[in-house]
Structure 1
Amino acid sequence: MKKVKIINGQIITPYRIIKNGTLLINGHQIEAIEEGDIEAADYELIDAKGNYVSPGFIDIHIHGGGGHDFMDATEEAYLKIAEIHATYGTTAMAPTTLTCAKEDLLKAIDLYKSTNAKNTKGAQFIGMHLEGPYFALSQSGAQDPRYIRNPDLEEYKEVIAYGAEAIKRWSVAPELPGAIEMGKYLKSHGIIAAIAHTDAIYEEVLEAVENGYSLATHLYSAMSGVTRRNTYRYAGVIESAFLIDAMDVEIIADGIHLPAPLLKLVYKIKGPDRIALITDAMRGAGMPEGESILGNKDTGLKVIIENGVAIMADRSSFAGSVATTDRLVRTMVQMADIPLVEAVRMMSRTPATIMGVENTKGTLTVGKDADVLIFDENINIKTTMINGTVVYSSADFV
């Protein structure tokens, strides 16, 4: 088993930074963390050169990158997406689908299963996130309206049975007929029920939370806020997520989907232990700006990447982000004035907890997986290590 000793690092723990720290890795796991030097013979030495040493970033909502999308339905797409995002600090991810036909969902599950063991050079897969197709048509956003429908009991039972070991999360509009029953079913099978692309009001969200729903998918995007019906005002999903302490939220912290004041507001109300930063990245992440496609490369929607975001071809709305996880942390620190330790927590420990992998991932803790990053004060990734193996080092750091 390979042994690695990282020295001269500013080691980020969930609550503080250990100055001039040393981290030992034995095989796939973290063996020791201390301030100063640790006597250790026969260890490969990595000098962090005063940079930060951080837990790997965990992205629980991601569609693509590097010119590929998980809906392309190819092994190459799955593996290349994992590899390109590892260069930006992502060490674990939840491959995410889009609204589609049942046959395409089953195909996506097949590819997840076939590529999981082959994924040795990129961010690890920690379970699939099915985004749709059970959404409110009025909040479709960039989801293809051709496939949006109400929850179908026989359909989702079949999909879950087919992907029992793969599916870890399903995003649904809770106000739809059959959505409450679906939430109960998801929870009974250990699958996270998330609220997304919805026009629900507070009373509907509260009922959903009482019946299994626990997470708000990309807060503010494609969901209701305060609405007026027949003179009376009703709190929407956004306000519900703030009011219900037990709800976790995820935010696309690229600085464009949510400007600085909203990033600060979410942080102030929910706190870092209830917020997961997500990229929601489509195939344009890590690619030049210009025309692109959201979803399957042959049948997806044409979009435009400009000014650091993907937008619909008619420029009517956003069409997903092109963010990478390093950019999310950088945005929270530099734009939203969030302490680095807490920005990193929202990109590591909190998403690990939401996905139920906190016993092995999410913090630099003795006994956990050696998913480790080295980055500078501007969150430029210098080294990415997954399970004790370096999968990326920048040219200026080797």
Structure 2
Amino acid sequence: MNSYIKIVNARIITPERVIDNGNLLIKNDKIAAISKDDIAVDAAQEIDAQGNYVAPGFIDIHVHGGGGFDFMDNTAEAFIGIAQTHAKYGTTSMMPTTLSCEKEDLHRTIKTYEEVVDADCLGAQFVGLHIEGPYFSMKQKGAQDPKYIRNPDPQEYRELVASSKHIKRWSAAPELPGAIEFGEFLREHHIMASIAHTDAVYDDVMRAYEAGYSHATHFYSCMSGVSRRNAYRYAGVVESVYLLDDVTVELIADGIHLPAPLLQLVHKIKGVDRIALVTDAMRAAGMPEGPSVLGSLKSGLDVIVEDGVAKLPDRTAFAGSVATMDRLVRNMIDLANVSIADAVKMASTVPASILSISNQKGDLSTGKDADIVIFNENISVQQTFVRGKLVFDVNKK
């Protein structure tokens, strides 16, 4: 039996324009119609958007945790808790992300993901695993635990990829011994290779690009810029990625990892269609500030959350963000001076394109998944729908 939900009195952000006083019809789990005029259908549940924006749900392609949980806790409770927490802030799809750790921990994370990936958890949907590390530069480790950082190990990564069809992305430093072969292996298995935690120079990046590295993880963070070696200047990863037009980037647009001038610069050079907004959120997202843990409770790093960001206890480096997707969209509007439609595009359409799921998600078009967020002028989320199901309502906390 079909079920219908009709959202009325809405400012609908479509790929072409914003429709004022528009109507959107959900049939089961898909978008059935979008119109300026009334959509006549019997027995539809009607939701009054009250003049608020109706936008495609946000897609977070780099997130570690939230609501007091981390994916590296390796429990179903943690996965579901994170999905439910971020749905409150408009995220309808997410890519669970790991940290540098032992191979056994990665296997446990993969196993837990497979246990919950199809669960109806009343939160954001999981759309693949992002393995972040452990193949990183020690000089650019950031908050990654140095005892786990190592060079690409063919036996290890081949075994992990063979163990699951859900690994869709892997972040690594391309200058490491074996990193080019690793990128070629990922490309052969249709896994996105991403440049991360790297001290590479231009020549390294070019070799990586030719081997299949197509994305830059948390652009600027833990990433080389211009450097001098033996008196000569070398372009780093930042400059190299700017020069490679089709390499996409992701931004932690919390206003702290990247201040307003850098958000504006990335937007000016890379353009809307090459930028995805990501939270890179750890377990403290959606929680009060204070002491927390980055990674698993068993073997993670102690951190302190203050000033709207997680820091190492000695405050020498950030230790992941506590941002939520609504905050990123708001900041791109307020700090980077982009339009609301473009900010939403960077939070939905572009991530869907990067993950090659644009046929299902990423914009409000008929036939696509009914992943929808309703928010007001301040980008304060009022309701979130995942595949046509209301998973968050600000009036029913």
SS of aligned partner of 1:84: helix
Whole-Å Cα distance in 1 between the matches of residues 16 and 39 of structure 2?
22
| AA at the equivalent of 1:103 | E
Aligned match of 2:296: 296
Contact 1:14 1:342 in 2 (8 A): no
1:26-175 matches, cutoff 5 A: 26-163=27-164, 165-175=165-175
Whole-Å Cα distance in 1 between the matches of residues 44 and 322 of structure 2?
38
1:250-269 matches, cutoff 5 A: 250-269=250-269
| Deviation, structure 1 residue 15 | 3.8
1:1-398 matches, cutoff 5 A: 1-163=2-164, 165-395=165-395
Whole-Å Cα distance in 2 between the matches of residues 331 and 140 of structure 1?
27
Contact 2:83 2:121 in 1 (8 A): no
Identity of aligned residues (%): 59
Contact 2:57 2:348 in 1 (8 A): yes
| Deviation, structure 1 residue 316 | 0.3
SS of aligned partner of 1:384: strand
TM-score (norm 1): 0.98
SS of aligned partner of 2:272: coil
Contact 1:82 1:119 in 2 (8 A): no
Contact 2:267 2:336 in 1 (8 A): no
Contact 1:15 1:342 in 2 (8 A): no
CA-based RMSD: 0.9
Query: In the TM superposition, what whole-angstrom CA distance separates every residue of 1:183-215 from its partner, at most 9, and x where no partner exists?
Result: 010011010000000000011101101111000
Whole-Å Cα distance in 2 between the matches of residues 170 and 363 of structure 1?
25
Whole-Å Cα distance in 1 between the matches of residues 246 and 177 of structure 2?
24
SS of aligned partner of 2:31: strand
List runs of 5+ in structure 2 lacking aligned partners: none
| Deviation, structure 1 residue 36 | 2.8
Query: In the TM superposition, what whole-angstrom CA distance separates every residue of 1:306-361 from its partner, at most 9, and x where no partner exists?
Result: 01000000000000000000000011111221100000000000000101111000
Select between 30-39 and 217-226 the one with higher mean Cα deviation: 30-39
Query: In the TM superposition, what whole-angstrom CA distance separates every residue of 1:280-314 from its partner, at most 9, and x where no partner exists?
Result: 00000000000000001121100000010000000
SS of aligned partner of 1:342: helix
The number of residues matched between the two structures is 396
| AA at the equivalent of 2:124 | A
SS of aligned partner of 1:269: helix
Whole-Å Cα distance in 1 between the matches of residues 330 and 17 of structure 2?
18
TM-score (norm 2): 0.99
| Deviation, structure 1 residue 119 | 4.0
Query: In the TM superposition, what whole-angstrom CA distance separates every residue of 1:234-271 from its partner, at most 9, and x where no partner exists?
Result: 10001111110010000100010000000000001111
Whole-Å Cα distance in 2 between the matches of residues 2 and 39 of structure 1?
14
Contact 2:196 2:223 in 1 (8 A): yes
After the TM superposition, which parts of structure 1 deviate over 4 Å for at least 4 consecutive aligned residues?
Answer: none
Whole-Å Cα distance in 1 between the matches of residues 386 and 371 of structure 2?
4
